[in-house]
Homo-oligomer: A and B are copies of this chain.
Amino acid sequence: MKYLFGSPGKVSGLVLRIGQCLFASASIGVMASASGFSTTTAFCYLIASMGLQVLWSFGLACLDIHALRLKKDLQSHVLVSLFVVGDWVTSVLSLAAACSSAGVVVLLSRDTRFCRVEKQLACRMFELSVALAFVAWFLLAISSFVMFWLLASV
């Protein structure tokens, strides 16, 4: 298999995984601390989806650290197939969560005047959480493409 930026078991791959973990955790933290998020399904789904991304990326970051320490090669066909499936499922779910929340945020803050009228809604925090979720998804999308490329180019 080729060695690309973000390959599993490499430093670049580890940096990507840590970035995904951090941004997804930050998105959860901001959303969970915003008042009034629990009444909206899209925001609850964002927390669930980002939670899944944190678990997945944290697991793979640990695997990368293990491989870097013991200088093991993680690029076997079976492992990369597993990474591709996990990355793509998590990536699609994260994008779906970020976009559905973004749709609701735009509805609340621009299309209607809910954010101005209902002062207990923390609209700024919703916006920040969605932005962080998009960054987390973007980093995961890079990993997904690299994994798919590695698998296809065998």
Could you tell me which A residues sit within 8 Å of B by CB distance? 39-42, 92, 95-97, 99-104, 106-107, 110-111, 148-149, 152-153
Q: Within the assembled complex, what's the spacing in Å between the Cα atoms of A39 and B106?
A: 11
Q: Within the assembled complex, what's the spacing in Å between the Cα atoms of A123 and B39?
A: 20
Q: Within the assembled complex, what's the spacing in Å between the Cα atoms of A43 and B38?
A: 24
Q: Within the assembled complex, what's the spacing in Å between the Cα atoms of A68 and B101?
A: 43
Cβ-defined partner of A100 (8 Å) among B102, B148, B153? B102
Q: Closest residue of chain B to A107, judged by CB?
A: B104
Q: Within the assembled complex, what's the spacing in Å between the Cα atoms of A110 and B148?
A: 37
Cβ-defined partner of A111 (8 Å) among B40, B102, B153? B40
Q: Within the assembled complex, what's the spacing in Å between the Cα atoms of A100 and B95?
A: 10
| Residue contact B42 to A107, C-beta cutoff 8 Å | yes
Cβ-defined partner of A96 (8 Å) among B95, B107, B111, B153? B95
Which are the 8 A-B pairs with shortest beta-carbon distances?
A100-B103, A152-B152, A99-B99, A42-B103, A103-B103, A96-B99, A99-B100, A103-B104
For the complex formed, measure the closest distance between the CB of A135 and the CB atoms of chain B, giving whole angstroms: 15
